[in-house]
């Protein structure tokens, strides 16, 4: 079955998780104390971790079979979430939704965590774990002429496919491109629009776009060969008051890095690349974009 993708994110991109019990004790946020928080207590009692994820973002969050069956939901962020849940003694469940809905779902308590990149305004409302993924942004353009784009300044007047509230759309707007928004659409819709000229580019995560292109070799599109910009991270995002929960998740992430689990999952889903390490690239930083 063709894997479908949506370039949103985070981020965000973005997906996620939270924890209970298992190898991480409830009082580990302050050694020797009984400090807790309401969210951690709620998750601990339910023994469930509810994760908001896209389900259409290969290779990060997608269905490897029949859509709608949680047993067929997989991808890097999905498996990271499952692994964290397991290490915290929780049963992990997923709510599939568009990126623009994820922060609202997190804020209302519909989900316990998502996976996304920290931004200045969201840091004021939510807590972010240590990074589980490092990357940077690039853009998909038409192969023939790179959609007439040689520098970021050439985005002026171009049409960029994307979700309304992502950092990628903010970058497009900063350089005066028109953002053409989509719902939780499959990646094919985005890619074909660049191919047929309805849009000119898609700005998104380098690794996601690199893998996404492999699914549609018939389209006359490619990653821009010269433009690498806006370094990013993805983290587990949770309620602002969930300080004990955060420390438990960070402990689980640290153990996953130490025993090689994160690197193994990354290699599986990103064609041998290790997204758990910062990339050694000359990446353009964009002033005013957080």
125: in domain: yes
The SS3 call for residue 72 is helix
22: CATH:
3.40.190.10
Residue 47 CA from chain centroid, whole number:
25
Distance, CA of 212 to CA of 206 (rounded, Å): 10
Same domain, 56 and 185: no
Range of the domain at 243: 9-133+232-269
Express each pLDDT in 122-132 by its tens digit.
888 999 999 99
pLDDT in the model for residue 51: 98
The SS3 call for residue 104 is helix
C-beta of residue 7 within 8 angstroms of C-beta of residue 202: yes
Same domain, 147 and 118: no
Rounded to two decimals, the pTM is 0.73
Please state the rounded mean pLDDT for residues 163-184: 91
C-beta of residue 111 within 8 angstroms of C-beta of residue 101: no
pLDDT in the model for residue 8: 35
Please state the rounded mean pLDDT for residues 194-214: 94
| Cα-based distances in Å from 288 to 33, 86, 135, 170 | 41, 39, 19, 10
pLDDT in the model for residue 252: 98
Same domain, 206 and 145: yes
Percent of the chain with pLDDT over 70: 87
Express each pLDDT in 12-67 by its tens digit.
333 333 333 333 333 333 333 344 589 999 999 999 999 999 998 889 999 997 77
C-beta of residue 15 within 8 angstroms of C-beta of residue 114: yes
* Domain count within the chain: 2
What is the torsion angle, in degrees rounded to the nearest 10, for the CA atoms of residue 266, residue 24, residue 11 and residue 63?
Answer: 60
Same domain, 98 and 238: yes
């Amino acid at each position: 079955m063709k894997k479908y993708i949506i370039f949103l994110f985070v981020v965000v991109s973005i997906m996620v998780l939270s924890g209970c019990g298992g190898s991480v004790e409830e009082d580990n946020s302050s050694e020797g104390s009984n400090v807790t928080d309401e969210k951690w207590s709620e998750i601990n009692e339910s023994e469930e971790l509810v994760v908001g994820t896209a389900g259409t973002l290969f290779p990060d969050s997608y269905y490897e079979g029949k859509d709608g069956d949680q047993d067929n939901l997989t991808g890097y962020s999905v498996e990271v979430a499952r692994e964290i849940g397991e290490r915290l003694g929780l049963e992990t469940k997923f709510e599939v939704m568009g990126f623009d809905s994820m922060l609202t779902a997190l804020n209302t308590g519909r989900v316990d965590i998502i996976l996304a990149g920290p931004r200045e305004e969201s840091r004021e409302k939510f807590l972010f774990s240590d990074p589980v993924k490092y990357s940077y942004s690039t853009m998909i353009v038409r192969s023939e002429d790179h959609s007439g784009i040689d520098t970021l300044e050439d985005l002026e007047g171009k049409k960029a496919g994307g979700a309304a509230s992502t950092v990628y759309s903010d970058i497009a707007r900063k350089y005066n491109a028109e953002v053409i928004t989509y719902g939780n659409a499959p990646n094919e819709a985005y890619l074909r629009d660049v191919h047929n000229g309805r849009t000119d580019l898609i700005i998104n995560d380098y690794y996601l776009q690199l893998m996404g292109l492999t699914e549609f070799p018939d389209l006359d599109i490619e990653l821009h060969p010269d433009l690498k910009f806006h370094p990013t991270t993805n983290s587990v995002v949770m309620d602002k008051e969930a300080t004990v929960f955060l420390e438990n998740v960070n402990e689980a992430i640290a153990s996953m890095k130490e025993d090689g689990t994160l690197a193994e999952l990354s290699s599986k889903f990103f064609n041998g690349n290790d997204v758990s390490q910062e990339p050694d690239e000359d990446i353009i930083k964009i002033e005013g974009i957080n």
